[in-house]
Amino acid sequence: MSIDRKVLHLYGVTDRSWLGERTLCEVAEESLKGGVTLLQLREKNMSTDEFIKSAKEIKEVCKKYNVPLIINDNIDVALAVDADGVHIGQDDMPASEARKILGDDKIIGVTARNVKEALKAEKNGADYLGSGAVFGTSTKGNAVKMELSTLKEITSSVGIPVVAIGGINSDNILNLKGTGIAGAAVVSGIYAADDIEKAAFSLYEKVTEIKEG
């Protein structure tokens, strides 16, 4: 399917590390109130049953705000909860295989760290790309910092939208001006904040400024 670029404006990626006394549903709802336009549920250390339970709960929150839910890496979970799509990495199955399993009406995002990976993902039917880590990251141990010039090469080499990811926060996000991104995917910049709604709102406004610039 062809994704509406507006949906990628502010892409929230969940992380349980900063929940504290809050539940995942609570922090997800706060971020959606603040302006998150697409939500990815990322659970690396959870059984499939637990992941499905969590995804069902988050899906209800997303429905309330009419925001699509993307499942990270796990196609079985995406199918089980009828999520809006999946995001897959370079070590997972190709987008073309995911498409056969999920069908044409689901969103498929693919991680692309260079032009070669970007072109391959587009050819295989990805709806959007996630590219980074643009400012480094503390949430992924194997993430290598991406030069903004590489990000710009990726956005100009493909016809599908590209979302920047990796260490993005309110202090550095405006450095992404001129890179051609359709939006920003944010983890700690939203979910590690004391006031998640306020952090999301600030980032939403700054992505708007980037795209207008």
Convert the pLDDT of each residue in 108-122 to its tens digit: 999 999 999 999 999
Q: Tokens 């990270």 correspond to what residue? A: 72
Q: What is the pLDDT of residues 18-38, one digit of tens each?
A: 888 999 999 999 999 999 999
pTM: 0.95
pLDDT at 65 over 80: yes
**Using 50, 70 and 90 to split pLDDT, how confident is the model at 137?**
confident
* Spatial contact of 39 and 70, defined as CB atoms under 8 Å apart: yes
Q: Which residues contact 112 (CB under 8 A, 6 or more apart)?
A: 90, 118, 121, 129, 130, 131, 154, 162
Strand partners, 129: 110, 162
What DSSP state is assigned to residue 144? P
Q: Which residues contact 105 (CB under 8 A, 6 or more apart)?
A: 1
5-212: which CATH topology? TIM Barrel (3.20.20)
Judged by phi (left if over 0) then psi (alpha if -120 to 50, else beta), residue 52 lies in alpha
**Using 50, 70 and 90 to split pLDDT, how confident is the model at 136?**
confident
